[in-house]
Structure formats: structure tokens, C-alpha cells
Structure 1
Amino acid sequence: MASDQQDPDALRVYFSEELRRTRQRAKLSQSQLANALGCTPQWICQLEKTDKTVSEQTTLDLDTYFKTDGWHQDDGHFHRIHTAIRRAGRHRVLLPGFDAYLRHESRAIGIRCFAAQVVPGLLQTEGYTRGTMDLSEPVETLDARTAGRIDRQAILTRDKPPEMMFVLDESVLRRPVGGQKVMVDQIDHLIGAAQSPHIQIRVMPFHRITPVALVGGLILLSFEREADLLYFETGSVGQLVDREDVVFKAGVHFITMVGEALSQAESIEFMTQAREIYL
């Protein structure tokens, strides 16, 4: 099947062609297939012309009806194409340079992050994620970005999650992204995440002036058998750095920020108090 990096539009065409081919091989008219699935012939026609967005449930229904390979595990032929469409769509809307970072993030055994502006993507709620986005963008683009960001969080619940430490500038808690309710939910989520044995969250309050924290956000990835990597963003471009001297210096800066930030217990209390202003 086509790879995840293909154009999502080409994958939609591929889905339509596969649906038509499978229906015809089963010697079914559009009306007969529609009858079996409990939809209208017009709906099947639109799917075969790529005039309709393919929903996940539709692909599961098709796999079940045609008994495609893997259908009993919700991983049939049509569902796999749907997954590829989603992934390709997310790839299209990523910040330049961020796709390279994502390939490494999923393999990391350690993640250290200083967030200078907004809650890190790995800790965002869906409401907060949408609150960070430009609503003038097409709905499909916003949906793809949101789904991609939330899907990244699967590494937090895998069998062996990475050890993570986040330092949040106080401004992250004070900036009302998405409105009051979204911020209450987001801070609750942060407090809950801080209870995990694999996650530490420290807050850098305004009154602690640390020059290295004024430079901007950064992420450091650690691996089992490879050297650490540094990721940061400048303007609208993300940069992944593997130069040992640069990565080492960033690691030293991160240690400095941790030393200046509040302790884990103090940070939880600080977040609890910050939450009150949104009630």
C-alpha cells in the first residue's frame, strides 16, 4: 500500500479506486452495497468519486462487510488506507523541520523540555491545542494538527514511557489560551501529569530571572545507544541539532533552569493557585 508520506489527496483517490474495485469484484451495485451498510447509494457514489471525506467508522464498516485482511482486529485494508490518509495529512501541515523531530521523539528514552510560551504539545489537552491555532486556517488543517498533537501523547502511556522533565515559564500558566474553562482543564491535566512517576513538571516563576531561560524554548532528546539531540524553533522553522558541543551546552542550560525553578511539590502548589484565577 502507499506509504504514509504520500500526498493525502492521492491516498483518497487510492481509497476510492479500492472501494470501487472491491465492490465490483463482489459483483455488487452501489445500491446493493448501500443497502448492506445502511446508507444511500449516493453516499457510496460520492465515496467512489472522492467527493466525501472518509470517516474512520465507514472504513471499519467496509472492512467488516468485505472481511478484508485484519478486519477482526480493526486493522483491515480500508482502515489502513484511512490511517495513511490521516498521517499524510498531518505531515503536510507540520512546521518545517518538525517532521524530523517527530521521527526521533517516538524513540526517545528521555525528554527534557523548557517551555517559554505555551504548554508543551505532549502535555496539551485537545481544547488547549485548538486554542493555540489560527482559526483562519481550513478546518481540515486544524483537525489534522490537533489529531497529530494528541496522537503524539501515546508515548506517555506505552509500556516503557520515556523519563520526562518539563520546566514551564510562569507565562505558560498566565496566558489564557482558549479561554477560562480550557485553562482550568489544562492546568488540571498538568497537575495530574505531575503525579506520574515518569513525569516531572517544574515552574519557573517570573521573579526568578535566569538569563538562559530568556533565550527561548528547547527540547532535548536522549536515546539508549545514540547521542542526545536538541530541537528548537526559530520563527516558523524547527531545527534539529546533533552537534555535540551545542547539545552539551543546551543540557547545561537546562540543568541551570531546573535549579532555578520551583521544586515538584512547589510547582504543583503554584499551578493549583494559578488555576484559581480562571474560576
Structure 2
Amino acid sequence: MTETYDGSNPDDLRAHFAQELRRLRLRQGLSMAKLAEALGCTPQWICQMEKVDKAVSEQTALDLDTFFKTDGWEENDGHFHRMYTAIRLANRRRVLLPGFDAYLDHEGKANGIRCFAAQVVPGLLQTEDYMRGLMNPSASEETLDARVAGRVERQTLLARDKPPVMTFVLDESVLRRPVGGSKVMVEQIDHLIGLAQSPMVRVHVMPFTQVTPSALIGGFILLNFEKETDLLYSESGGIGRLVDDRHAVFQARVDFDMILAEALNQAESLKLMNQARETYK
């Protein structure tokens, strides 16, 4: 009888991957040593995968699909790669803020993203070291890696042929908060300066000298769509909220327009970013 497993639980998915690997290996009468020889790895590696003691890499999944010629292997969409993808997505959901997975389902479809960041650099603009500087160091290495991988994967929309038009307003405190230390902040601000000069990304700074009521309520993100209803995303108390209420979205648009109007223009923002950068040297 085939064991049941929870398709949303990464631990169950990894156990299913191990079960399928052992099943196909034994069906073909292969010892661990023979399979390891064919894949160019050690028998211990195979043993660890079958005992769920070893995290599975994408390349390993592809190699297994090629060796066993699973359905879809020629298009890099074989049985093991599909399981690997499910494990990766389940890991991402496990470490996400409650409610954020709903936001991610829509972010990649937006043709416009407007974000006011009141505390830290938005995830789409973060360097990997900055990401790690924000994370709880007591978390397991696997959890930290999954969180970083999820944010890096989000950033692929910046490199799309037709990326969304993105406008970010950063409160000056975002530049002054030394996440990860001086070296990390220098690299992060350099990254922001580079992105700010991209034709599809605008980065503005709200200086301390401005007191704008709309900017005191906290950060938020507006997603704009060509045909669908615009969405508002905000976080409070460790929970993310995705809102499609027309009145709330309209008010958020008004607030963002006021914040953008009070923020520094691009040249002034670049100047302030450079000034902040110098304080970390």
C-alpha cells in the first residue's frame, strides 16, 4: 500500500522523494553502489537521500530523471524535478509571514508595483547579505537558506523582458538602520543606487526633515494590474493582509501619491543615498 503524505508539508514531500528514489532503484535491481556509480556520486550520498538525511538539489533531481527516464525528463520536467519543485515551494510557504503567500501569488502578475518602506529595504531590492542581516540567527541554516532563496526568486521579475514599472519610496531610517553592519549597508546602498538608475525602477527617499501624515501610518505595497482589480498589501503584528476593497485601495493610492510628492526627487534621493553610504565607511 502506498503511504499517504501531505503535499503542503516539506518534510512529508522529502520523505516521498526518498520513497520514490528507493522504489525506482529497487525496481531496476540496482544497489546503492551501482546507482552512485552511474550518477557520479558516493553510495553514502544515495543512502542519505533515501533516509531523508540529505537535502535534494535541483541538479540531483534532474540527474535522477535523466537516469530513470521519468515522464518529462527530456524537458527538465520529470518526476523527481516536479517533486523537487514541490519541496522548494513548501519550504518557502513554511518560512513566510502568514498571509504573504497570497501576496506572492499576485506580485508576479502585476504590471505596476508601488511601495512605501517605513522600516527596512523592500524584499525586491535587498542584497542577500542584507536579507540574512534581517533574519533571526537562531533559526536553522536550512530555514535561513529557504528564506533567502525565496526572496532571490522574487527578484527574478526585475530581469523579465517586460518587468512591472516599480516605484519605491524609502523612509530615510531605512538607510540609517545598520542591518548586517557597515559592509553590508555599503553594498546594499550601492545596489539601491544602481537600481534607481534603471528605466523601470524609481527609488525615492523620504527625508527626516519631512513630516508627512500618510508616511507615519507604516509601509504598504500597491499592486496594479492591466485588467484585474488593484490590490493593497500591508503587514501588522507579524501578519500580512491582502486587501481588494476598492475604498481601501483608493485611499492607499491617495496616500502613496502624497508620500511620493513629499519625497525627494531622483537626483536628491541619489545624493542622500550617497551621503548615507559614506557614514558606513
Give the TM-score range, shorter chain. Answer: over 0.9
Using the alignment, how far apart are the partners of 2:184 and 2:36 within structure 1?
Answer: 41
Partner of residue 164, structure 1? 166
Displacement of 1:268 in angstroms is 1.3
- Aligned letter for 1:221? L
Partner of residue 260, structure 1? 262
Contact kept, 8 Å, 1:109 with 1:162, in 2: the verdict is: yes
- Aligned letter for 2:191? H
**Selected match of 1:45 from 41, 44, 47:** 47
Using the alignment, how far apart are the partners of 1:194 and 1:244 within structure 2?
Answer: 30
Displacement of 1:98 in angstroms is 0.8
Using the alignment, how far apart are the partners of 2:269 and 2:81 within structure 1?
Answer: 43
Displacement of 1:3 in angstroms is 11
Partner of residue 13, structure 1? 15
Using the alignment, how far apart are the partners of 2:276 and 2:5 within structure 1?
Answer: 45
Using the alignment, how far apart are the partners of 2:247 and 2:5 within structure 1?
Answer: 36
Partner of residue 196, structure 2? 194
Which stretch has the larger CA shift, 39-48 or 220-229?
39-48
- Please state whether the residue corresponding to 2:211 is helix, strand or coil: coil
Which stretch has the larger CA shift, 188-197 or 71-80?
71-80
Which stretch has the larger CA shift, 77-86 or 158-167?
77-86
Contact kept, 8 Å, 1:4 with 1:84, in 2: the verdict is: no
Partner of residue 181, structure 2? 179
Aligned-pair identity (%):
67
**Selected match of 1:204 from 206, 215, 222:** 206
Using the alignment, how far apart are the partners of 1:139 and 1:193 within structure 2?
Answer: 29
Output aligned runs, 1:61-100, within 5 Å. 61-100=63-102
Unaligned runs of 5+ residues in structure 2 are none
Contact kept, 8 Å, 2:5 with 2:13, in 1: the verdict is: no
Contact kept, 8 Å, 1:202 with 1:263, in 2: the verdict is: yes
Deviations 1:102-129 (A, max 9, x none): 1111111111000000000000011100
Partner of residue 246, structure 1? 248
Output aligned runs, 1:22-33, within 5 Å. 22-33=24-35
- Aligned letter for 2:200? H
- Aligned letter for 1:241? V
- Aligned letter for 1:271? M
- Aligned letter for 1:11? L
Pairwise CA RMSD: 1.8
Displacement of 1:21 in angstroms is 2.0
TM-score of the two chains, using structure 2 as the length reference: 0.93
Partner of residue 151, structure 1? 153
Partner of residue 121, structure 1? 123
* 1:274 pairs with 2:276: yes
Which stretch has the larger CA shift, 186-195 or 78-87?
78-87
Number of residue pairs the alignment of both structures matches:
278
Displacement of 1:38 in angstroms is 2.8
Contact kept, 8 Å, 1:231 with 1:239, in 2: the verdict is: yes
Output aligned runs, 1:124-143, within 5 Å. 124-143=126-145
Displacement of 1:73 in angstroms is 4.8
- Aligned letter for 1:8? P
TM-score of the two chains, using structure 1 as the length reference: 0.94
Deviations 1:114-164 (A, max 9, x none): 000000000001110010011111222111111111111111111211111
Deviations 1:243-277 (A, max 9, x none): 11111111101000101000012111211121111
Deviations 1:29-57 (A, max 9, x none): 11111122233323212211212222233
- Please state whether the residue corresponding to 2:261 is helix, strand or coil: helix
Using the alignment, how far apart are the partners of 1:189 and 1:245 within structure 2?
Answer: 35
